[in-house]
Amino acid sequence: MEEYEMRKIEIADITLRSGDDYSLNFKEKVETARLLDKLNADVIETARLTGGKTDIVLLHTISGIVKNSTVCVPVSVDENEIEAAAKALRGTPKAAVNILAPVSTVQMEYLCHKKPQKMLEAVASCVKKAAELFENVEISLLDSTRAEHDFLVSVTDAALENGAKTITICDDTGEMLPSEFGAFVADIKSASKLSESGKLAVACSNALHMAAACAAAAVQNGADIIKTSMLGKDAASLKTVAGIIRAKGAALNVCCNLNMTVLDSCVKQAVQIAEGKAVETESDACTASSDVMNGDADIKTVSAAVEKLGYDLSEDDIKNVYAAFVKTAAKKDITERDLDAIVASEALQVPPTYKIESFVANIGNVITPMAHIKLIKNGEELSGYNVGDGPIDAAFRAIEQIVGHHFELDDFQIQAVTRGREALGSAIVKLRSNGKLYSGRGLSTDIVDASINAYINALNKICFEEEM
């Protein structure tokens, strides 16, 4: 009896790419990457680079723990972004880039302000540039199912001719039936040079809960790669896709590299991480009450705990974290959650243009809220005084007085990250400057202190990038 070799389907997971929708912190993103690597996902696609130091450190950390999977960074149709991705992934054993290119008329004009011919030229140029820097170049044709047929074929061929190894057909609306999407994929593959070279990937929206079925139909019609999500919200559910391959692989003559023996446990952990529930992972530290640290812990002990949390910090960042640890440990014992919050606040930051020397903020029911702020810049003490609707508003106004510039406050959040009377409060400030959003975070047992630190953190990012 003649034996036939099964066609291997690759799994490219985008959980981290859409991780901001689930408010994943640094540690949680690292843990999710660890789970995907444990599952033998072929590709782990990260979030897009925003230009901050945190993104670079996260990539380096993920690249350091991933042993089996390719680490892929999505970028727009922009050669500068491609170069930044190559720089960030330098030294990564298996690295790839995914160029996100809108191809429907409405998205090309709305997102890129380009007509079809200009988009075609931009795609060709960017793919050529990426191929010079990456061995593995993917281009995702966004909103493919609403694109003009001939233009979609032209873009596909142009990308392949300039060095793309993978073409991803995207059904971003998720409104196609499986049979419709299967036929669509078959048509594009036969009409383009995909029939001769390159791999065909599919990314299906799960808006109508048909993503996995559409992906299976695409595989029947020649697709080589399926975009999945462990959380199953933005793409085909990884668990469902794996289940289809496991149950129907023989009928479809396909298989995959996923480690099916750990599938259920890994997906369960990923869901728990996304939902903010306690979950036992390989990198957990200080979880049990017996592991709570106090002020007697030395820098070596704190550094080891930070490393177990999934962070890979420089010596300077470790020193900053330890200094904050000592300060906080003087008031309370430090749990895992405390330490994670301290790292997020004190490490991964840009060089400070402004440092807080001191502040005074007053409030009462018979006085106007006021704040007096002293900052240090280049060794010089700068002072600002202002009033506001509250002590925090007054403090922000006083800082702007010192800087001599008003920034649009896009968002401001205060929340407790630990419990008890000495709970740590986290403040998030988002400032807009020259059309770009800068986020800062502050951590303190005092919400005014946390808010001021968050504002200064965001301000320093603006100064660093805009050379103010």
Q: How confident is the model over 210-228, as pLDDT tens digits?
A: 999 999 999 999 999 999 9
Reported confidence tier of residue 416, pLDDT bands at 50, 70, 90: low
Encoded tokens for 176? 């196609």
Encoded tokens for 422? 């000495």
Please state, in angstroms and rounded to a whole number, the distance separating the CA atoms of residues 126 and 468.
31
Nearest residue to 258 via CA among 59, 443, 68, 64: 68
Q: Which residue has the higher pLDDT, 245 or 350?
A: 245
Query: What is the side-by-side strand order in the sheet with 425-433?
Result: 408-416, 425-433, 436-444
What number is the average pLDDT over the span 73-77? 95
Give the pLDDT of residue 177. Answer: 95
What number is the average pLDDT over the span 317-322? 85
Q: Which residue has the higher pLDDT, 436 or 70?
A: 70
Beta-carbon neighbour count of residue 336 at 10 Å? Answer: 20
Q: How confident is the model over 50-65, as pLDDT tens digits?
A: 776 667 778 887 887 8
Q: How confident is the model over 10-21, as pLDDT tens digits?
A: 999 999 987 555
Please check the confidence at residue 31 and state whether its pLDDT lies above 70: yes
Task: State which H helix or E strand residue 424 sits in.
Answer: none
- Torsion-angle region of 185 (φ positive above 0: left; ψ -120 to 50: alpha; else: beta): alpha
> Which of 13-22, 259-268, 421-430 is most confident?
259-268
Question: Is the distance from CB of 410 to CB of 431 less than 8 angstroms?
Answer: yes
Give the pLDDT of residue 284. Answer: 39
Model-level pTM? Answer: 0.64
Reported confidence tier of residue 441, pLDDT bands at 50, 70, 90: confident
Q: How confident is the model over 148-200, as pLDDT tens digits?
A: 999 999 999 999 999 999 999 999 999 899 999 999 999 999 999 998 889 99
Please check the confidence at residue 356 and state whether its pLDDT lies above 50: yes
Rg from Cα positions in the chain: 25
Give the pLDDT of residue 338. Answer: 79
271 exposed, middle or buried (CB, 10 Å; 0-12, 13-18, 19+)? middle
Give the pLDDT of residue 281. Answer: 40
Give the pLDDT of residue 273. Answer: 80
Q: Give the list of residues 6+ apart from residue 136 with CB closer than 8 angstroms, or none.
A: 70, 72, 94, 95, 96, 97, 165, 166
* Domains, in order of start, for the chain: 7-274 (3.20.20.70), 289-346 (no CATH), 355-466 (3.30.160.270)
Give the pLDDT of residue 413. Answer: 83
Reported confidence tier of residue 425, pLDDT bands at 50, 70, 90: confident
Q: How far is CA 377 from the centre of its chain?
A: 32
